[in-house]
């Protein structure tokens, strides 16, 4: 659903921007839809109907699909003609790089939270029903793997215990996903590395570029020294 809606949104928002010559309002709308999706996902509970997630995917697809043509056009229209190809490449590359970094952080938080919460929630759900803690590892493995055959072979397992364990699993997943969305919210307070926004290239590939960079930086240092001497005089 997400990819289908996203593909359609790219066409629709691209057409709307071309026809009505606007990029600001479509861009704001797309970002608002992405925020709405994040809010809805962060407030889900184990009792949230499955159909709701299909609806949430529509908001995410519209938002992400609409930003692709909208912000690409906005970047190109605000760029000098000689830099359009460079800016287009930067816009195209920035999103995947952010996705790769964000995915690694998301997976680390999710798996750490899930591994901690699964045992807590399932144990809290089944031990009061008389299930032996000595078989807890087998129960967790069978429930998370969806292995009905393994569940039936565990000593002391009843339909009520299986239902309680599955409910505990849902709660653990809910907490793990919640922690991911909470971590994503902290991106609003990320520090802008303003000092790094300069012309210096840290690791130029071409030798000529490296030599030219050294020459220009040496000239800048000399100019600063001359200005300081002139000021003292």
Question: What pLDDT, in 10s, does the model give residues 111-163?
Answer: 999 988 999 999 999 999 988 888 898 988 898 888 888 888 888 888 899 88
Asked whether residue 175 is domain-assigned, the answer is: yes
Task: Tell whether 111 and 62 lie within a shared domain.
Answer: no
What's residue 189's pLDDT? 74
Q: What pLDDT is recorded for position 8?
A: 92
pLDDT of residue 108: 92
- Whether residue 93 is contained in a domain is answered as no
Q: How far apart, in whole angstroms, are the C-alpha atoms of residue 161 and residue 173? A: 18
CA distances for 49 relative to 41, 46, 54, 115, 228, angstroms: 12, 8, 10, 25, 70
The helix or strand, by DSSP H or E, that contains position 151, with its residue range, turns out to be: helix 148-153
Whether residues 136 and 74 fall in one domain:
no
> In this structure, are 117 and 184 located in the same domain?
yes
Distance, in Å, from the CA atom of 121 to the CA atom of 176, rounded to the nearest integer, reads 12
3-state secondary structure (DSSP) of residue 200: coil
Q: Which of 45, 63, 78 is the last residue of a domain?
A: 78
What's the pTM?
Answer: 0.54
Give the total residue count for the chain: 233
Question: What pLDDT is attached to residue 95?
Answer: 74
* Residue-level pLDDT at 201: 58
- The segment with the largest mean pLDDT, out of 61-65, 96-100, 193-197, is 61-65
Assess whether 140 and 65 both reside in one domain: no
Token pair belonging to 230: 């002139």
87 within domain boundaries: no
**Average pLDDT, whole number, for the chain?**
82
Judge whether 27 lies within some domain.
yes
- The residue from 78, 111, 128 where one domain ends is 78
Co-location of 123 and 165 in the same domain: yes
140 belongs to a structural domain: yes
Q: Which domain holds residue 44?
A: 1-78
* pLDDT score at 21: 84
- Res 68: pLDDT: 82
Tell me, yes or no, whether 67 and 105 share the same domain. Answer: no
Number of domains in the chain: 2
Within 8 A by CB and 6+ apart from 27, the residues are 66, 67, 70, 71, 74
**pLDDT value, residue 219:** 81
pLDDT digits (tens, 9 = 90+) for 172-229: 988 888 888 788 777 677 665 566 556 665 555 566 767 777 787 788 777 777 777 7
Asked whether the predicted pLDDT for residue 98 surpasses 80, the reply is no
50 and 108: one domain? no
184 and 131 part of one domain? yes
Residue 227 lies in a domain: no
Q: Which of 156, 149, 100 is nearest to 127 (CA)?
A: 156
Q: Would 35 be classed as within a structural domain? A: yes
Same domain for 106 and 52, yes or no, is no
């Amino acid at each position: 659903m997400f990819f289908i809606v996203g593909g359609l949104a790219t066409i629709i928002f691209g057409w709307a921007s071309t026809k009505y010559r606007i990029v600001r309002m479509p861009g704001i709308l797309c970002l608002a839809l992405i925020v709405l999706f994040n809010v809805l996902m962060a407030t889900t509970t184990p009792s949230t109907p499955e159909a709701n997630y299909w609806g949430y995917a529509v908001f995410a697809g519209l938002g992400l699909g609409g930003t692709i043509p909208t912000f690409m056009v906005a970047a190109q229209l605000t760029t000098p003609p000689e830099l359009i190809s460079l800016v287009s490449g930067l816009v195209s590359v920035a999103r995947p790089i952010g996705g790769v970094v964000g995915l690694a952080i998301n997976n680390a938080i999710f798996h750490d939270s899930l591994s901690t919460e699964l045992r807590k929630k399932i144990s809290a759900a089944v031990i009061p029903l008389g299930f032996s803690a000595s078989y807890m590892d087998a129960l967790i493995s069978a429930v998370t793997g969806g292995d009905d055959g393994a569940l039936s072979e565990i000593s002391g397992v009843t339909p009520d215990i299986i239902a309680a364990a599955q409910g505990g699993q849902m709660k653990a997943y809910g907490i793990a996903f919640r922690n991911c969305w909470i971590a994503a919210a902290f991106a609003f307070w990320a520090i802008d590395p303003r000092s790094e926004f300069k012309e210096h290239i840290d690791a130029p590939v071409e030798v000529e570029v490296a030599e030219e960079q050294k020459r220009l930086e040496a000239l800048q240092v000399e100019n600063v020294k001359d200005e300081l001497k002139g000021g003292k005089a």
